Amino acid sequence: MAGVTDTVFRRLIRAQGGCGLLMTEFTSSHGVVAAGKAKKPTKTFRYLYFRPEERPISAQLFGSDPVVMAEAARVCEDFGFDIVDINFGCPVNKVVKCNGGSGLLRDLPLVEQILRQVRAAISIPLTMKFRAGWNDRDLVYVKMARLAEDCGLQGVALHPRTREQGYSGCSDWTRIAEVKAAVKIPVIGNGDVNSPEDAVRMMRESGCDAVMIGRAASSNPWIFRQIQEFLATGTYYHPPERERYTLMRTYYDMLIERREADAAGKMKQFATYFTHGVRNGSTLRAAIYCEKDPAAILGVVEQFFARELEAVA
């Protein structure tokens, strides 16, 4: 979720209700250490910035140097995070080439060194997210979970695709069930949860203790609230088009208020997510992409929804 789950998006999610734990964008451990030593705010510092209303919140780190990872975790604890999470799941080439993310699934002894040194460095809870393995010929998900438990982690999250799969194919939730059966610490399931029905089915089929949602929340920030309602009542809220406009307007206002350096770029990026399911959404996206100024983009959004909402009134 790099480039998505910044403080503005997290606060937007929190405001919709239903989400138990928020997590930062995954952040370089080397960058975090540099940010901790810097005398002025760095780009990485912006990744770690959060407001009190975002709690509980976890700092998500990646890296392959145990000493640097431990120091980065200490910095995150000093910044006030509730949890530190280590990412062993990212499949992106530039991360894997540095032996970060899912690249470390090929070196479990190094994983153990990282976990033990980070666990010893902080007093707040430590968790990790990982994939099933590098490929289907080298599956390590049960070994990874047991290693986490042995090293004193408070929980694990499994995305059951391999690094080789990327985001293709389907998540094999039976692998989550295997991890749940192998350890006593909490197990979080992740992958292909696109609706409240999916979340309930994952928990039923795998026995996982919680569900982690990433990409689906970008286009449906209400999904956490919907899951909560579905569990309680068997039905859930479907936001009308007017609420999509309100959400989009709120997010854009928050970007402008924070004076994001690339507010216009963020607006264009999230236009793709937020217009999902909006009538004539492609027309709105095209108009937004043509603008360069945040205020002009906001004007395009207001004019579009004024016409569309009047048409269905």
- Is 290 an active-site residue? no
Q: Which of 76, 90, 151, 208 is catalytic?
A: 90
d(CA 310, CA 313): 5
Residue written as token pair 């995954």:
26
d(CA 36, CA 39): 8
What is the set of active-site residues? Answer: 90
